[in-house]
Amino acid sequence: MTENLARPAGLAATHAGLDRRAALKLFAGGAALALASCSRPPEEIVPYVEIPEGLTPGIPLKFATALPLAGYARGVLVKSVEGRPTKIEGNPRHPASLGSTDVFAEASVLSLYDPDRSQAVRNRAQPVAWETFAGVLRTQMEQESARHGSGLRLLTGRITSPTLRRQLDDLLRAFPEARWHRYEPVNDDAAFGGALQAFGRPVVVLPRLSDTKVMLALDADPLGPGPQQIRMGRDFVGARRAQASPQDFLRFYVAEPAWTLTGANADQRLALPPQLIRNLALAVAKELGANVEAGNLPAEAQRFAELAVGDLKSRPGRAAVMAGRAQPAEVHALCHWINAQLKAPVDLIDPVDVAEPGHADSLRTLNEDVVAKRVQTLIILDANPVYDAPGDLDVRGALRSVPFSVHFGHYNNETAAMCAWHLPLAHPLESWSDLRSLDGTASIVQPLIRPLYDTRTLHQLLAYMGGAASASSYDLVRETWKARVPGGDFETWWRGVLTDGVIPNTAQQPAQVPAPKLPTLAPAQPPTGFTLTLAPDASMFDGTFSNNAWLQECPRPVTRQVWGNAAHLSANDARRLGLVDGDVVRLGRGDVQIDAPVMIRPGQADGIIRTTLGYGRWQTGAIGNQVGFDAHRLQSIGSPWVLEGVSMAATGRREEILTTQHQYQLEGEAHELFPILSIAKLESEVPRRHESVGGPATLYPAYPYNTYAWSMVIDTGACIGCNACVVACQAENNVPVVGPQEIGMGRDMHWLRIDTYFTSESSPPGFQPVPCMHCEQAPCEPVCPVMASIHDAEGLNLQVYNRCVGTRFCESNCPYKVRRFNFFGYASGQEFANLGADVVKLQFNPDVTVRARGVMEKCTYCVQRISGARRTAERENRKIHNGEVTTACQDACPTRAISFGDRNDPASGVNTLRQERRHYELLGELGTRPRTTYLARLRNLNPALTEEKA
């Protein structure tokens, strides 16, 4: 249809494209350009909610689409204001979203407007026109077709898009001797290997947590960052309802070398080196009658194993074990066997991703081909091996030796620098495509906005390589699905799937597998020296999001570190080596050496060095460059996650570790700040504060709240600490980023923070999200000399920005310290790095004031949403319905830990929650009468163990 007019067909750029690029050179990412591009794409994209045709100015629309994480889809609804995507929300109909989001989904809207995004085709770093490249590529492909593509190699990340797979297949058919290689840094190689050993075929394990009563996670991190985090989190909490009897309350055992979100949410956690976790698995299998030799375990681990096995056995059909990506294939196979014995509630499905060869092998073969000069043409599609390939593979050197190399990606990054050509890739919110989630559910990816820059999609490039003179990704995607739709009217079907954001009946069916074979697995010897264990970062993941300022400044779970990573050491090791937080050590493996600041983590296994991937980028952009250190270089292609015999030596240098929380340990009476109840004793144990809800007696008159009385209840028992709410709040409320220097000065702007408290050295921490309490007797209000901090008739504690003179008396008198001050013009002229660029402003929520320098700000309960709902209600001359207003944090929360509503409405959920026994007010004894209140965290300890403790 009209795509040819709207944008260059295929690859060759029209003059419009040239103009745009010329304009670009004049003012990089300037407003003129950005606004010019600020319109809906030409094709018909279909609103999620049924609204009258055409866009009513000021009324935002929501469109359903999908965003990839490690190649897997998470369905989202994107809020679009006058053609600008401003906010990402979850799609309730999508199985990997369930209406919630994760930090990556929330932050991807900022990446769309990232000024550092690649905006032009480059040949050896020189900007050139698309048609120049098109010409060169055509001749190159002609040469390849002459030799049946024997010199042609494609390198991609994980590909789940059916259209892309179809195009790849066609291409490989046209070039029979060409090869397609895949490398996804965070991959499931071990899991597939295990499945192969156990069943003879690769399968994906989907645990049904909601049906599970006892779960043993062996170095697995289902609640951690990844495409399944939302789903797992929701099921995990669903299986832990306070109302349920202790019998039906999921008990979670976790054995892991270092803190993960899963360990932090466990009932029973054991810190154990990865090698010994293998022995633990063997011990469990042995208990279940496997004829295996269980290696030796520390007494503590032995005890842990007995308790776990006891529990697992006692709940046949309701108990399961799972192994993590860091464990070898054998352990995964062993877990399959154990689950079979337990009749575990896990679904086995055929993988969406290609299983064989594994990502590591695929990359290794490519490397060999290149070294052997078998590769003339290398096309790298949205992958960044130069940065994220394991350090013992010399990708950089290899790339140099390839005659014709092309990098097609979002950023002019490390790999682009090593390739002859770099092509700018369109952002998922700008392009037509399709994606599948881990369970196979497919979604159409529809663009929310015309490409800001002169970019193309993977589909367009592949089509062109296949010889198509002109093709639009829109047509390509529709082609794919025309072929698959079971007859009927395609257009109606198309509209349907665009509206819903999911394509029905695309989820994988359970795989028919034989009984799992018991793998041959020798017990491991206790490791000597230091073992380095790696994990994807909770904010950077594998480095894909390094240039996203929201994520850089999003405090990592448990450590609350920002703007960098660190080498985590156990308290014992640190003491032994005389290291303290911030000491820089030199980590060495083979000839690779990197310097890393030390961070001491009580509760981490001894002999373990833990760090996360995704840092130390040297060519991504103004935000992500030179932040932290690059742990990929220590990785080995053979064993990417666990590296034994790593050397560590103090350098004598120091480096400040930036965190937004400095005191994690609760001591003495301070425990009352964060009550943790045992589910078994829930009836007897009650938070100290329960009686004092409503605060102590007061002499002040009771203010009547006879319209609405907004109130929030946060269930700390349900909070898994994933940070989705923090980033959601930032996106919704135009909360600025302050940057590392300001963080170092002890300043930050987050309206919502997740306080993390350890109640003892070893036992898992708890998470306490702290927004504004909207106290009815707010200490911040009477101290404001200019009435900038006042109370409204619905009980909201308001901050009047344009009245604020910045005395900061309110914050100094706030016992919760939830107010944030613009010490500089963080959003008004003194932005960090390139965040002042006009294109970034396109993300701003038009309903929320951008605060000036010298002004205090804080959580408003998303007052813009409340007044929006009020306007609608008043137009329809009714009251606001129960649940009509939701806050951004509430929407984002994967576990629905945050409830918000009108206390005057007997039907509203907050009222029932406020009746719960676990309900308490934070610092309620101060008489502040907070409107935000909490439910105590729950722990389901093994009774046997609790007795031992007693």
Partner 1 sequence: MSRMLLAEFATGEALLGAARQSKQRDLRVIDAFTPVPVDGLAELIGATPTRIRLVMFIGGITVAALFYLLEWYSAVVNYPVNSGGRPLHSWLPFILPPFATGIFGAALVGLISLFLTAGLPRLHDPLFAVEGFERVTQDRFVLVFERPEAAQHDEAARAWLTAIGAARVCEMKT
Partner 2 sequence: MTAAELDRSDALRWTLPSGRSYEAVNRLVSAPLIERAAWSWRAWWIAFAVSLTFTVIFLIAVAWLFVSGIGIWGVDSTIVWGYAIANYVWWIGIGNAGTLISAMLLLMRQHWRASINRFAEAMTIFAASIAGLFPIMHLGRPLYFYWLTPYPNTMTAWPQWRSALIWDFWAILSYLLFSIIFWYVGLIPDLATLRDRARSRGGQRFYGALALGWRGSARDWHVYHVYQLTMASLAVPLVVSLHSVVGLDFAASLMPGWQETIFPPYFVVGAMYSGFALVVVLAALVRGGFGLQALITPAHFDVMAKILLAASIIMGLSYATEWFSAWYGGGRVDRDLVAYLFTGAYAPLYYAQLFCNVVLPQTFWFPIVRRSIPAVFLIAIAINIGMWLERILIIWMTLSHGFLPSMWRLFQSTIWDWLTMFGSLGLFATMYLIFVRLVPAVSMHEVKKDVIDQEVSA
Bridge partner residues of 610 (DSSP): 533, 568
Core vs surface per residue 879-914: b (16+ CB within 10 A) or e: ebeeebbbbbbbbbbbbbbbbbbbbbbeebebbebb
Compute the least distance from the CB of residue 932 to partner 1, in Å: 16
Residue 643 is which amino acid?
Answer: L
Residue 792 interacts with, from partner 2, partner 1, none (CB under 5-8 Å by kind): partner 1
Residue 703 interacts with, from partner 1, partner 2, none (CB under 5-8 Å by kind): partner 1
By beta-carbon proximity to partner 2, the closer residue of 753 and 919 is 753
The alpha carbon torsion through 393, 396, 397, 398 (nearest 10 deg) reads 70
Compute the least distance from the CB of residue 82 to partner 2, in Å: 30
By beta-carbon proximity to partner 1, the closer residue of 720 and 798 is 798
CA atoms within 13 A on the CB side of 50: 2
Phi, psi of 85 (to 5 degrees): -65, 125
By beta-carbon proximity to partner 2, the closer residue of 544 and 928 is 928
Core vs surface per residue 743-782: b (16+ CB within 10 A) or e: beeebbbbbbbbbbbbbeeebbbbbbbbbbbbbbbbbbbe
Compute the least distance from the CB of residue 693 to partner 2, in Å: 18
Residue 929 binding partner 1, by CB under 8 A: yes
Q: Looking at 32-40, 146-154, 235-243, 786-794, which segment touches partner 1 (CB under 8 A)?
A: 786-794
By beta-carbon proximity to partner 1, the closer residue of 247 and 700 is 700
**Strands, E, within 829-881: which ranges?**
856-857
Residue 184 binding partner 1, by CB under 8 A: no
Rounded distance between C-alpha atoms, residue 632 and residue 592, angstroms: 11
Residue 816 interacts with, from partner 2, partner 1, none (CB under 5-8 Å by kind): partner 2
Compute the least distance from the CB of residue 781 to partner 1, in Å: 4
Compute the least distance from the CB of residue 701 to partner 2, in Å: 14
By beta-carbon proximity to partner 1, the closer residue of 477 and 775 is 775
Compute the least distance from the CB of residue 266 to partner 2, in Å: 22
Q: Looking at 87-95, 182-190, 769-777, 817-825, which segment touches partner 1 (CB under 8 A)?
A: 769-777
Q: What is the DSSP letter of 356?
A: S
Exactly one of 775, 855, 893, 897 binds partner 1 (CB under 8 A); that residue is 775
Unique residue bearing structure tokens 């100290």: 688
Angle ∠(336,341,344) on CA atoms, nearest 5? 70
Compute the least distance from the CB of residue 926 to partner 1, in Å: 12
Exactly one of 776, 857, 891, 902 binds partner 1 (CB under 8 A); that residue is 776
By beta-carbon proximity to partner 2, the closer residue of 51 and 787 is 787
Exactly one of 35, 349, 693, 790 binds partner 1 (CB under 8 A); that residue is 790
Element (H, E) at 309: helix 299-314
Compute the least distance from the CB of residue 789 to partner 1, in Å: 8
Helix or strand or coil: residue 205? strand
Given a contact cutoff of 8 angstroms between Cβ atoms, the answer to whether 65 and 76 are in contact is yes
* Beta-sheet pairing, 251-256 with 268-271: parallel
Residue 863 binding partner 1, by CB under 8 A: no
Residue 493 interacts with, from partner 2, partner 1, none (CB under 5-8 Å by kind): none
Rounded distance between C-alpha atoms, residue 552 and residue 107, angstroms: 10
Residue 846 interacts with, from partner 1, partner 2, none (CB under 5-8 Å by kind): none
Rounded distance between C-alpha atoms, residue 383 and residue 68, angstroms: 13
Given a contact cutoff of 8 angstroms between Cβ atoms, the answer to whether 532 and 642 are in contact is yes
By beta-carbon proximity to partner 1, the closer residue of 64 and 775 is 775
By beta-carbon proximity to partner 2, the closer residue of 84 and 851 is 851
Residue 696 binding partner 1, by CB under 8 A: no
By beta-carbon proximity to partner 1, the closer residue of 23 and 923 is 923
Q: Looking at 443-451, 587-595, 790-798, 864-872, which segment touches partner 1 (CB under 8 A)?
A: 790-798
Tokens standing for residue 215 = 């779960």
Compute the least distance from the CB of residue 813 to partner 2, in Å: 4
Q: Looking at 213-221, 308-316, 587-595, 780-788, which segment touches partner 1 (CB under 8 A)?
A: 780-788
Exactly one of 13, 214, 719, 778 binds partner 1 (CB under 8 A); that residue is 778
Residue 701 interacts with, from partner 2, partner 1, none (CB under 5-8 Å by kind): partner 1
Q: How far lies 60's CA from each of 39, 75, 840, 869, 875, in Å?
A: 13, 19, 19, 13, 17
Phi, psi of 568 (to 5 degrees): -85, 135
By the 10 Å C-beta count (0-12 exposed, 13-18 middle, 19+ buried), 529 is classed as: exposed
Cα–Cα nearest to 767, from 752, 778, 781:
752
Mask: binding to partner 1, 791-820, rule CB under 8 A, as x and -?
Answer: xxx---------------------------
By beta-carbon proximity to partner 1, the closer residue of 302 and 807 is 807
Cα–Cα nearest to 232, from 97, 67, 77:
97
Compute the least distance from the CB of residue 779 to partner 2, in Å: 5
Unique residue bearing structure tokens 């190399």: 405
Residue 923 binding partner 1, by CB under 8 A: no
Residue 397 binding partner 1, by CB under 8 A: no
Catalog residues that contact partner 2 under the rule CB under 8 A: 661-663, 665-666, 668-670, 672-673, 742, 745-748, 753, 755-757, 768, 770, 779, 782-787, 803-809, 811-813, 815-817, 820-825, 830, 852-856, 923, 926
Q: Looking at 170-178, 556-564, 574-582, 785-793, which segment touches partner 1 (CB under 8 A)?
A: 785-793
Rounded distance between C-alpha atoms, residue 287 and residue 282, angstroms: 9
Residue 399 binding partner 1, by CB under 8 A: no
Residues in contact with partner 1, counted by CB under 8 A, come to a total of: 19
Residue 820 interacts with, from partner 1, partner 2, none (CB under 5-8 Å by kind): partner 2
Q: In what order do the strands lie in the sheet with 126-128?
A: 126-128, 121-123, 421-424, 404-409, 377-381, 152-156, 179-182
Helix axes 473-484, 490-500, angle to 10 degrees: 110
Angle ∠(31,37,41) on CA atoms, nearest 5? 160
* Beta-sheet pairing, 377-381 with 608-612: unpaired
Residue 778 interacts with, from partner 1, partner 2, none (CB under 5-8 Å by kind): partner 1
Residue 782 binding partner 1, by CB under 8 A: yes
Cα–Cα nearest to 131, from 49, 10, 45, 37:
10
Exactly one of 703, 812, 874, 948 binds partner 1 (CB under 8 A); that residue is 703
Residues forming contacts to partner 1 in the complex (CB under 8 A) are: 698, 700-701, 703, 775-782, 784, 787, 790-793, 929
